[in-house]
A and B are shown apart, each in its own frame.
Chain A
């Protein structure tokens, strides 16, 4: 029971840190946007709006108030989802960002899961087959692709599979006008899947190289352990020894690398979305920043921060689950 309470207390502390991070980031954002050259109110007010609308927004965001009041209003607005009106699209920002997050996750989560499943089993397999051509080429492949800039890899894949072979579309999530579906059913359409293949493959390779290499190293270490000899002596088949016993014992270094994963995954997805024009939250942020559409940029950034923070939180909890030695002290 004490263990359970300790785990709860641990989770509460992690959640508090996650919350504090978002608060700090929101504050930093506030300060940064006051540094914008020229009139800082331009970060909230589109110059294109009519004077009456401008006056109304000025009041809503308290831009005629002292800085500290503005800060309070800003935090309240952020916390309650009042992100303002997009400059370039003249729609409320909230309406823009929801589906973007879904689009990002639809690409990122399958890539992460595939990368880790393939990385873990692939790493175990090549460690078992040490010295073979398979092991050597897979290791070299992982070393090379881990170092390749992901945005460049995306373009290479587009050139080869889209321009030369004509197998897949070179970008976007759906062919415009091809399907009238909306909501969940659009993610089940063949058109969507065709668009998904290339970015998913690049992202899986990009996320998967590191777990593959870590798994290989840690498996090589574990395969020398005494308990492996015991398993063999017990008469288990070699495959059972490798995939049931050694694999489980080798997982620990992977789980500790997961801590770095959230920031890495988010950076990768921003870049992949940018190259493939994938309508996710990362692409929205990049284009909003380039267009100086500050309300959208602000909201998109905060959502990306929420994704990162939640990713870290989940990684932390998973780590506690997998590593039996962690005792939440």
Chain B
């Protein structure tokens, strides 16, 4: 989304934007609900260790030493237990933390890559632009999920590798959007002024141009959180997850491979519902912020 008209003042403060976004959210129940859902999940993620009633990795036994397999929900186990006697509620809480860590780290890393490539390609143009954009085209065509599976099977099944692989593949969209914005920003008077006052290219890029692309970078970042959480869950569901970290995708994989999806609803439904709530909320927030960050859309 290119900003087409030239505003008289080039400076857009992301925090102002955020404040306006929150203001706009209050007028739209859909967005307000999303923000509330996200706030709740954040708290759960941050205080996961305090909130989890049991150790999510430990098998639970009753007083006689029998494994508590597939218990339906009860006061002791709010969401019952798994086939392996583990507490579902505790797993769900730890999975929240994993999802948020994966989402945020990937979004930050991939936005940093995409924004920088977009800035450099857009500002310098010429051969550098050509090279960077061809690279962008190539990475854009990589089938992300299949590639991640092949890479993880060879590298190592760890959440950190999942984050790395996704960060290295998600950035082309941001790079393209930011580049097209930079193309118009570098023609603006304030960039000329900076250039004539002797500022070096890198200073112009990072001091004068970058702040203006931050809102778009932010929009992309929030979308990237949603993609990262979904993709990580998919990788885990296919059985390539980190055995040392509990993720919602892994929980669904465990139910599915145990062939009890149609009876143990307390084990099967919660992780899917959590994914739906968190991913859906991030989508709606990203779209709301996009409307605020993009004047053309806002005038509707």
Contact = CB atoms under 8 A, between A and B. Distances in A.
B138 A24 contact: yes
B15 interface: no
Contacts of B134: 17, 20
A304 B143 contact: yes
A224 B300 CA distance: 9
Interface stretch (A193-201, A234-242, A281-289): A281-289
Contacts of A220: 300
A29 interface: yes
B153 A312 contact: no
B141 A18 contact: yes
B146 A301 contact: yes
Contact of B146 (A151, A270, A292): A270
Interface centre among B134, B150, B230, B249 (most CB of A within 10 A): B150
Given A32-B150, A274-B238, A151 B143 contact: no
B151 A32 contact: yes
Given A301-B146, A312-B141, A143 B233 contact: no
A150 B237 CA distance: 11
B239 A155 contact: no
Contacts of A262: 141, 143
Nearest to B152: A289
Given A163-B262, A286-B149, A297-B150, A152 B275 contact: yes
Contacts of A79: none
A95 interface: no
Interface string B262-286: 1000001001100111011101100
Contacts of B144: 263, 267
A159 B238 contact: no
Given A17-B137, A21-B138, A159-B261, A146 B283 contact: yes
Nearest to B261: A155
Contacts of A29: 150
Given A32-B154, A35-B155, A36-B154, A312 B138 contact: no
A143 B272 CA distance: 15
B256 A155 contact: yes
B238 A309 contact: no
A267 B145 contact: yes
Given A155-B268, A163-B262, A260 B142 contact: no
Contacts of B277: 147
Q: How large is the interface on B (under 10, 10 to 19, 20 to 34, 35 or more residues)?
A: 35 or more
B300 to A, nearest CB: 6
A264 B300 CA distance: 29
B138 A17 contact: yes
Contacts, number: 136
Interface in A144-163: 144, 146-153, 155-156, 158-159, 163
A17 B133 CA distance: 11
Given A21-B137, A144-B280, A151 B252 contact: yes
A299 to B, nearest CB: 12
Contacts of B271: 152
Contact of A286 (B238, B268, B281): B238
B231 interface: yes
Contacts of A143: 30, 280, 283-284
A156 B40 CA distance: 26
A267 B234 contact: yes
Interface centre among B138, B239, B279, B283 (most CB of A within 10 A): B138
A149 B252 contact: yes
B170 to A, nearest CB: 10
B160 interface: no
Contacts of B234: 149-151, 267, 271
Contact of A148 (B237, B276, B281): B276
Contact of A147 (B30, B145, B279): B279
A285 B149 CA distance: 9
A7 interface: no
A35 B134 CA distance: 27
Nearest to B230: A149
Contact of A305 (B142, B151, B275): B142
A275 interface: yes
Interface string A222-259: 00100000000000000000000000000000000000
Interface centre among A29, A144, A152, A305 (most CB of B within 10 A): A152
Contacts of B149: 285-286, 289
Contacts of B124: none
Given A35-B154, A148-B275, A149-B237, A282 B256 contact: no
A308 B146 CA distance: 11
Interface string B235-246: 001111000000
28 contacts: A20-B134, A21-B142, A24-B138, A32-B150, A143-B283, A147-B275, A147-B277, A149-B233, A149-B234, A149-B252, A149-B279, A151-B237, A151-B256, A152-B271, A152-B275, A153-B272, A158-B261, A159-B261, A220-B300, A221-B300, A260-B173, A262-B143, A263-B142, A267-B145, A285-B149, A289-B149, A301-B150, A308-B143
Given A32-B150, A301-B146, A304-B143, 10 more contacts: A17-B134, A149-B249, A155-B256, A267-B146, A270-B146, A274-B237, A286-B149, A305-B141, A305-B142, A308-B141
Rank and list the top 3 A-B pairs by shortest CB-CB distance, nearest first: A147-B280, A152-B272, A267-B145
Interface of B: 30, 134, 137-138, 140-147, 149-151, 153-155, 173, 226, 230-231, 233-234, 237-240, 249, 252, 256, 261-262, 268, 271-272, 275-277, 279-281, 283-284, 300
